[in-house]
Amino acid sequence: MNNDNKTNHNVTAINVELDQDGHLCDHSIWTPEVAQQLANTLEVQLETEHLQILQQVRAFFTQFNHAPATRPLIKWLQKTLPEHDISNQKLQQLFKTGLVARHVNRLAGLPKPPNRSEEHTSELQSPIYISY
């Protein structure tokens, strides 16, 4: 594989507060650069298609006031990004994870989606800070 196509992102060091699951505590500070730092934990280099998906996930959150679970996420992306031929399998490949909704929401700077994530989250641990 040719590494010449990789882009290194130099970002001014800032503190980003994360919850115990690695989601931004304040989704309003999200930027593509923050998304890339979060994507680094999955060893994913965000490209245009990734960022378009993340922007649509944020649009879903804005419209419905909650992070999408897997099925609504896929339906929303199929509707808003028909040119990308979105499926669960495609999202798994793009984001290198089987936990599509959880990680796509996390990379989009949003809270965990509602499916099965709320059972054990009544007591949050102290926030985690990352610098980059």
Map 7-50 to HEC letters: CCCCCCCCEEEECCCCCECCHHHCCHHHHHHHHHHHCCCCCHHH
- Provide the 10 A C-beta neighbour count for residue 34: 18
State how far Cα 60 lies from the chain centre.
Answer: 13
Mean pLDDT of all residues in 126-132: 52
On the question of pLDDT at 127 being above 90, the answer is no
Over residues 43-61, the mean pLDDT reads 97
Q: Given this model, what pLDDT does residue 114 score? A: 73
The pLDDT value recorded for residue 47 is: 97
Give the predicted TM-score (pTM) of the model. Answer: 0.76
In this prediction, residue 16 carries a pLDDT of 85
Higher pLDDT, 14 or 43: 43
Asked if 101 and 73 touch (Cβ cutoff 8 Å), the reply is: yes
